[in-house]
Structure 1
Amino acid sequence: MTAKVIDGKAFAAGLREQIKLQTAAMIAQGITPGLAVVLVGEDPASQVYVRSKEKQTRETGMNSFAHRLSAEAPQAELLALIEQLNNDPAVNGILVQLPLPAHMDEAAVINAIRPEKDVDGFHILNVGRLATGQKAMVPCTPLGCLMLLRDLLGDLSGKSAVVIGRSNIVGKPMAQLLLRDSATVTIAHSRTRNLPELCRQADIVVAAVGRPNFVQGDWIKPGAAVVDVGINRTDDGLVGDVDFAAASQIAGAITPVPGGVGPMTIACLLASTLTATARANGLPDPEGLTP
């Protein structure tokens, strides 16, 4: 058996086209969505990522606002900028690129963003709302994973899912989103006992543990859906958290690295910006872009 390779790049391209159409409809009503991205420091990977966000934001017809601070900027300067963006009606979404320099308190910065403009979904109020089943801004990578799984499997109700990873960015919100879709969810991690056995019972495996080729092929239940969130730089290039070559011989479907989950993240950031804009203006949530 050879797994279907889930083409996240193609799915993200289609998603961006949907966003572009819905953005045009919003602009026709006199409302232009705006996304502000803040980069502190000069990390090369972050710079590339931020430029890509800005480019894709403009391509969908949204306004893109870029703000760059030096790595030595005091936290007070960043907080003042966030407050300015919070109060700017042209800005519907605010994203502060992580990681931040060591002298800054990441939680304090995230929680300074107004929750309704927190398109990363990291604000403590959005985390709580997601956990309690309320309407929330949702982290972009888990939202992208959910969209891919729904497209692949349709109804997730009753499916057995194992999420490997317990981060606030991917693992925990991914589990909450799967629970919302009535999947039966186990949160596991690198120290979980009998992890291979747990995975072998799962219809869905989401790997977000940050270890190259950590999930072995013989951990996968035949026909299962495998979503690999990992991006690990090795001597052999970029690899995921799943041994793709081995797992693809057993799984029913699997995301590649690169080209799987990665392209979905920015597309879902744009989806969240559109959602935030709709909510700020009393409009219904955009169709097909929310959990």
Structure 2
Amino acid sequence: MITSTKSGGFSGSRIIGHSIKWIFLIAIAFFTIFPIIMAMLGSVKTNAELTTGATLLPSVWKFSNYATAWKQANFAQFTWNSLFISIIVTIGTLLVATMSAYAVDRTKFPGKRLYVSLQASTMFISIGAVVLMPQFNLMVKLGLNKSLWGVIIILISSHAVIYFMLIGFFKAIPRDLDEAAYIDGCNFFTVYWRIILPLLRPALGVTALFTFRGAWNEYILPLVFTMTNPKLQTLTVGLANLRYGIGAAAEAHLMMAGACLSFLPILVVYVLANKSFIQVTAGSVKG
């Protein structure tokens, strides 16, 4: 009788624990998805209907807002500019971060602790307001202040977070693989390129997602570097131009439509990186 009472108590507390967990997860999912649903519904409303907020669903579904936003914001050009920056920054950041993490984890060199400390210190410096003026002056001296390459170089240089994410994965790779490769005639770079990087594919997928998302959502740097050349503006800067239309009237419905269009590349990247997330999670649970 005592055993059944205890087991019943355990099962009851377990049910309560699972219920609280599911309530918490559902609440998080609701607060995460609700703004996206509201943006999608607002993107097919009229400006007056969206501004008053009288109804949740639009009285007339105006899908023409997407076509208007595409034309007014020059989405084709701005989307290409954003993709160009995001793809180059992602590739460059992964190369720089993986090479630096590989060198720090696998070798000993003078100033190693100082290098790691400098990497850690850059994580606490804003890439925007604090260092924007020195960065812009540097790009002026390099002649890159009127091109997207200035933005790309600055974003690649802020790779400290990705570096520390990757260094943990490097430490999980046994050094015996390096020694076996050296015996087979590989050099330091060959081990990195042929042995280490293939083993890091799940980690590279996850870090690539974070890097691409950060570069895609960047606003301050593209805004400053493209003020004199509007054709080089990115999608985030172009969306801000939808704020006011004819007669300086706020056109929130077009901004909503443009924001929904800008979701699509990020969703595609999330779908492509989903397998990497699953592999990283499965590996961590198995370990």
| TM class, shorter-length | under 0.3
Q: What TM-score, normalized by structure 1, do the two folds share?
A: 0.24
Greater RCO (Cα-Cα under 8 Å, separation 6 or more): 2
Give 1 or 2 for the bigger CA radius of gyration: 2
What TM-score do you get using the length of structure 2 for normalisation? 0.24
Whose helix fraction is larger, Structure 1's or Structure 2's?
A: 2
Larger relative strand fraction = 1
